[in-house]
Structure 1
Amino acid sequence: MKKRKIPMRKDIVTGEMMPKRQLIRVVKNKENEVSLDPTGKKPGRGAYVAVDVDIAKRAKKEKTFEKAFHVQLDESFYDELIKYADHLQARQELFGNDQK
């Protein structure tokens, strides 16, 4: 059986290349709205952050997505990102890295 290629993406906070399944996609659409993309299929410019609460908190502190997307973001966006990262991190600990 042929081994499948694992898609890799760069974590915007750490600059580290990681498997796409271990990252959270954040997308900016044409109306300059920034949102989380759990499906990975929303149209727009995407950026990735690791499924790690500490890295999500670092993104909030450094305002990483504001710099990447050149928009002003509300604190609630980063709070939602941290909450979602915590949720996914707990799922990965329970079920392994295959789950999304």
Structure 2
Amino acid sequence: MKKRKIPLRKSVVSGEMFPKKDLLRIARSKEGEVSIDPTGKKPGRGAYIAIEPSEAQLAWDKRILDRVLEAKLTDEFYQELLEYVTHQKARRELFGNE
């Protein structure tokens, strides 16, 4: 049986390439609304970060997503992102990679 190709994406924080399923997509719609995209299928410009609380914190400290998505993001968004990433990492450690 032919082995399937694993799609890779680059984390905007670390610059490393990861399998797409190990990253979280942040999407900006045409209207300029930025949201967390757990499915990876929302329309609009996307940026990926690794599911690591340290990466989410670094993105917040350096305002990396503001620059990449060309949008002004609030501290509340970054707080929500950090909580989401922390929760997803804990889930993966408990249940393994789905």
- Give the TM-score normalised by structure 2: 0.96
Counterpart CA distance in 2 for 1:80 and 1:32 is 18
Cα RMSD for the two superposed structures: 0.8
Aligned 1:15-94 pairs, distance under 5 A: 15-94=15-94
How many Å separate the matches in 2 of 1:67 and 1:48? 13
- Hey, what's the Cα distance between the residues in 2 that align with 1:49 and 1:22? 9
**Are the equivalent residues in 1 in contact too, given 2:46–2:69 (CA < 8 A)?**
no
Number of aligned residue pairs: 98
Distance in 1 (CA, whole Å) between partners of 2:72 and 2:50 is 22
TM superposition outliers: structure 1 runs of 4+ over 2 Å: none
Query: Amino acid of the residue matched to residue 11 of structure 1?
Result: S
Q: Secondary structure at the match of 1:41?
A: coil
Query: The residue matched to 2:13 in structure 1 has which SS?
Result: coil
SS at match of 1:18: strand
- Tell me how far apart the structure 2 counterparts of residues 37 and 95 of structure 1 sit (CA, whole Å): 21
1:65, 1:54 → 2: CA distance? 14
State the distance in 2 between where 1:31 and 1:66 align: 15
Name which of structure 1's ranges 86-95 and 12-21 shifts more when overlaid on structure 2: 86-95
Report the CA distance between 1:2 and its aligned residue.
1.6
Aligned 8 A contact 2:7 2:19 in 1: yes
What displacement does 1:82 show? 0.5
Question: For each residue in 1:33-69, what CA deviation from the matched residue of structure 2 results, as whole angstroms up to 9, or x when unmatched?
Answer: 1100011110000000000001100000010110111
Identity in percent: 52
